[in-house]
């Protein structure tokens, strides 16, 4: 009982800081809106008569938007107020979704509108997440970062792949995809309200310069970020592994999973949203598990093992004939993916120098997602030459092979022992507590 109470206190401690509570609430709401958009967009494309190829086009536009701006977004996070960046992005998201909702409800929406919206959503994410990653350590002491990342990792999948998609699924089934998009816009408005409640503190607006040196040029900052990544073996090989892993599974997961639900399981929007919900539940369980513990001693090995073993169940997706089988596969995938992601996010915040964190976070996005647009783009057309079963088998077995290579080449086993991350109390940033 005492161990459970200690774990619960560890998880909830970051929320004692009011500024973080507001930031986390805004992130949850924004993620809820993104989860709603996932389902609303799929069925809006199908409402317009689109199939796998058209869905690939919209999803690719989102990935391209993220990829085009993510490096610039990281540099901006190291040059400008991170608080101001997240507020501006959320404002932009509210205006964008409101515009798409008006077009959809009036019957004026076309496929190219969705492609433009997808591109702009990706561009917004390219600025939001590096700024958020750089802002978080300014609000919380180092020993609370794992709990914060883990608790967010617990809540966010529930709203992104469970509550958000389920809400949109019911709106689509009961009303229309257009009404689901209206809901997306309203949730973004609530997220913006939360962000506006964060005080405009000097610490959140401080430019992340190294020492007292004047701020270098954008190009030089980019070179510094890339140079640090190349010189840091654990960082470089994790990102190279991510390139292969994301390319092999993100396209099938985002583009082809709805057609597994409809073609293999003869399901509708509600069944698809329930499938995503199980992935979200798994992500929540995995995040809760790792966040309630101390930072692992073998953090690089555990992270790699989770990402390698976690994709193996995806190889069976193409063969499922019962909904419960798909639910179990996605549950297992969610658990292992979340454990790895929480460790990774905390690892960046604790081992990367603060003046480089925005750029390294953006490089993480850029390198990890470098082939995502290609993966999403080819997923639909690939169904013309390959069966869904073959595509998902490749998606499931590729990550374990390349993960072992990265673990060996990056010398993860020796690095994690030479650089232990022990939870020791540090000073709490100046912020109002609840």
Cα 81 to Cα 204: distance, rounded to the nearest angstrom: 6
What is the predicted pLDDT for the residue at 429?
Answer: 52
CA angle (402 as vertex; 227, 346 as ends), nearest 5: 55
In this structure, are residues 300 and 416 in contact, taking their beta carbons and an 8 Å threshold? yes
Residues 6+ apart with CB under 8 A from 284: 153, 154, 155, 157, 158, 162, 334, 338
Cα–Cα distance measured from residue 101 to residue 95, given in angstroms and rounded to the nearest whole number = 10
Q: DSSP assignment, residue 17?
A: B
Give CA–CA dist 316/390, Å, rounded.
Answer: 10
User: pTM of the entire structure?
Assistant: 0.67
Among the listed residues 156, 383, 163, the one whose alpha carbon sits nearest the alpha carbon of residue 251: 383
Rounded-to-integer distance, Cα 27 and Cα 32, Å:
8
Q: Which two tokens stand for residue 63?
A: 């990935």
Sign of the Cα pseudo-torsion (431, 77, 134, 196, in order): positive
Q: Where are the alpha helices (DSSP H) in 13-110?
A: 18-47, 52-79, 82-105
Longest dimension (CA), the chain: 62
Q: What is the pLDDT of residue 4?
A: 46
Nearest to 344 by CA among 287, 282, 391: 287
Across 341-355, b (16+ Cβ under 10 Å) vs e yields bbbbbbbbbbebeeb
Taking the C-alpha atoms of residue 161 and residue 158, their distance in angstroms, rounded to an integer, is 6
Yes or no: say if 403 and 266 are a contact pair by the CB < 8 Å rule: no
Separation CA 138–CA 154 (nearest Å):
22
Model pLDDT, residue 220: 73
Three-class secondary structure of residue 334 per DSSP: helix
pLDDT in tens, the chain (434 residues): 444 455 555 666 777 778 888 888 888 888 889 888 888 888 888 888 777 777 777 877 887 888 788 777 777 877 777 888 889 999 999 999 999 999 988 888 888 888 899 899 988 888 888 888 778 878 777 677 777 777 777 777 678 767 888 888 888 888 888 888 898 999 999 999 999 888 877 767 666 554 445 566 667 767 777 788 888 889 889 888 888 888 888 878 877 888 888 877 877 777 887 887 788 788 878 877 777 777 788 889 999 999 888 888 888 888 888 888 888 998 999 889 888 888 888 888 778 776 777 677 777 777 666 666 677 778 778 878 888 888 888 888 888 889 999 999 989 988 888 888 765 555 555 555 55
Residues 6+ apart with CB under 8 A from 429: 17, 138, 139, 140, 141, 203
């Amino acid at each position: 009982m005492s161990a459970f109470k200690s774990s619960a206190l560890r998880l909830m401690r970051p929320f004692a800081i009011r500024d973080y509570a507001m930031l986390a609430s805004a992130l949850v709401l924004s993620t809820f809106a993104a989860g709603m958009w996932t389902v609303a967009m799929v069925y809006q494309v199908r409402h317009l008569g689109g199939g796998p190829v058209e869905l690939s086009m919209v999803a690719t536009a989102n990935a391209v938007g993220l990829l085009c701006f993510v490096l610039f977004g990281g540099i901006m996070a190291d040059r400008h107020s991170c608080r101001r960046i997240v507020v501006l992005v959320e404002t932009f998201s509210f205006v964008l979704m409101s515009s798409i909702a008006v077009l959809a409800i009036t019957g004026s929406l076309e496929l190219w509108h969705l492609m433009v919206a997808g591109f702009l959503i990706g561009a917004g994410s390219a600025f939001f997440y590096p700024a958020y990653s750089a802002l978080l350590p300014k609000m919380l002491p180092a020993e609370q970062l794992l709990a914060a990342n883990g608790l967010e990792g617990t809540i966010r999948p529930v709203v992104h792949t469970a509550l958000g998609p389920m809400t949109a699924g019911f709106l689509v089934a009961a009303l229309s995809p257009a009404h689901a998009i209206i809901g997306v816009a309203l949730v973004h408005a609530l997220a913006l309200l939360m962000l506006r409640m964060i005080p405009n503190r000097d610490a959140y607006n401080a430019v992340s310069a190294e020492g007292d040196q004047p701020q270098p040029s954008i190009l030089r900052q980019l070179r510094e970020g890339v140079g640090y990544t190349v010189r840091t073996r654990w960082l470089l090989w994790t990102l190279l592994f991510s390139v292969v892993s994301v390319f092999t599974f993100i396209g099938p997961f985002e583009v082809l999973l709805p057609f597994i639900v409809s073609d293999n399981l003869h399901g509708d929007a509600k069944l698809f949203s329930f499938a995503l919900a199980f992935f979200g539940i798994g992500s929540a369980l995995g995040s809760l598990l790792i966040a309630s513990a101390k930072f692992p001693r073998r953090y690089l090995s555990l992270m790699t093992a989770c990402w390698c073993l976690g994709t193996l169940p995806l190889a069976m997706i193409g063969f499922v004939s019962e909904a419960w089988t798909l639910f179990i596969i996605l549950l297992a995938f969610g658990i292992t993916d979340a454990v790895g992601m929480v460790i990774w996010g905390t690892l960046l915040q604790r081992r990367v120098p603060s003046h480089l964190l925005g750029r390294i976070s953006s490089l993480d996005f850029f390198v990890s997602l470098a082939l995502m647009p290609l993966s999403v783009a080819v997923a639909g057309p690939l169904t013309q030459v390959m069966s869904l079963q073959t595509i998902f088998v490749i998606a499931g077995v590729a990550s374990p092979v390349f993960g072992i290579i990265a673990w060996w080449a990056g010398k993860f086993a020796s690095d994690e022992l030479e650089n232990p991350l022990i939870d020791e109390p540090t000073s709490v940033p100046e912020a109002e507590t609840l």
